[in-house]
Amino acid sequence: MRKLALIMAVVFVFAALLSAKIVIWSSENQIPALQKLAADFERDYGIEVEIQQVNFGDIKSKFLTAAPAGEGPDIIVGAHDWVGELAKNGLLEPIPFLPDSDQYYEVALSAFSYGGKLYGVPYTIESIGIIYNKDLVEEIPETIAELEEMAAEIADDEIVGFIYDAGNFYFSFPFIAGYGGYIFKDTESGLDVHNIGLNNDGAIKGVSLIKKWYDDGLIPQGANYNLMDSLFKDGLAAFIVNGPWATPWYRDAGIDYGIIPFNEIELEPGVTPKPFVGVQGFMINAKSKNKLEAIEFAVNYIGSFDGQYGMFVGERRGTARKDVFDYVAKDAGPELYDVLQFSKSASVGIPMPNVPEMAAVWGAMGDALSIVINDQDTVENALNAAVEKIKAAIGE
């Protein structure tokens, strides 16, 4: 380790003499925290870190154009589900080492892993949970059965007890995965896209539960995201499923809400819903002339406790490090309630698959859920058809 540190030090001395510069593409949200870390790196190594603001939605497409030509940034800040496409095209450099890796949530490291290698330093995680209106819900349910019972008692001609965008696979996935349904089998060497578990017994059980909610009249026919969102803002929905992007709007609407993270509610004893987890992190351009410097910045500045805490303070989003979460949670005030609750939910979740084949899943599963919700076919038939569509799309 000392030998490696000495080699790195020599490299950075020469890099500084040659006026090396690290360029980072980042969206606006990360820039304040990054500026402090960049200043620390320049102070320590004499190497400038230039942060260029790029709209988040444009970073991946611009990088795909620039990187193959040996242009563009040394580091990009982006989502874990970019990894499969970028790594497959040889545009990402594997992260060779990550100190304190045991302090990262496993879901965060898994999200940035592809083909058995780590391709990014994660820094934030987010997920969804169950949000409830405290003026309508007197006691927090600990099981889905209790939620169903409470929702049925609360519902009347005006108030909806439980509603969410159930036809959207993203929001229904927790109940499918909780029972053991899976998209692609997770193996030691990565995701096996030819092993699809969206029509196994667990998936059937999860989708059957969703169908039951409609059959029992718990979720109204025609439910969608906009209807759910509108009803909750108007104080006319007791329980919904949504994410951290929505809660500022609920606060502005004057709703006194609470959040039930999925690790605190059970489908049955010992079985919790498992939501998709979105992870963001720092990825290294494989074509960069400054890879060693970029890795050092990402690993030992962004990846350190202080770096991750600084990013948390700057953005107030769920952190990828357990020790940072524990430190923040110890003295957290009400203003951090949302962040901590959604982080708990993410801790039991599953990273959204980062492979290109995931593109085939959304439409097929959305169609299957729609067929089931509208009682157009059985759960088994709908899921079998969805899996066949996915296999056809990925060329199996």
Q: Domains along the chain? A: 2-126+277-351 (3.40.190.10), 129-271+354-393 (3.40.190.10)
Measured from the Cβ of residue 380, the count of other Cβ atoms closer than 10 Å reads 14
Closest CA to 40 of 284, 301, 314: 301
Residue 80 pLDDT exceeds 60: yes
Residue 13 pLDDT exceeds 70: no
Residue 335 pLDDT: 82
Tokens of 391: 């296999």
Strands 237-242 and 160-162: parallel
Convert the pLDDT of each residue in 83-140 to its tens digit: 999 999 999 999 999 999 999 999 999 999 998 899 999 999 999 999 999 999 999 9
Backbone phi and psi for residue 199, each to the nearest 5 degrees, phi listed first: -130, 20
Report yes or no: 2 and 29 within 8 Å, Cβ to Cβ: no
DSSP assignment string, 63-103: HHHHGGGT-S-SEEEEEGGGHHHHHHTT-EE-----TTGGG
Tokens 């889905």: give the residue. 144
Cβ neighbours of residue 43 under 8 Å, at least 6 residues apart? none
Q: What is the dihedral of CA 187, 188, 193, 199, to 10 degrees?
A: 10
What's the pLDDT band for 3 if we cut at 50, 70, 90?
A: very low
Report yes or no: 26 and 54 within 8 Å, Cβ to Cβ: yes
Residue 11 pLDDT exceeds 80: no
What's the pLDDT band for 396 if we cut at 50, 70, 90?
A: low
Convert the pLDDT of each residue in 278-330 to its tens digit: 999 999 999 999 999 999 999 999 999 999 999 999 888 999 999 999 999 99
Rounded Cα distance between 236 and 172, Å, is 22
- DSSP 3-state assignment of 135? coil
Helix (H) or strand (E) segment spanning residue 260: strand 257-260
Residue 334 pLDDT: 85
Rounded Cα distance between 271 and 265, Å, is 9
What's the pLDDT band for 19 if we cut at 50, 70, 90?
A: low
Convert the pLDDT of each residue in 321-361 to its tens digit: 999 999 999 988 888 999 999 999 998 999 999 999 999 99
Cβ neighbours of residue 223 under 8 Å, at least 6 residues apart? 163, 164, 165, 166, 167
Helix (H) or strand (E) segment spanning residue 354: none
Convert the pLDDT of each residue in 162-180 to its tens digit: 999 999 999 999 999 999 9
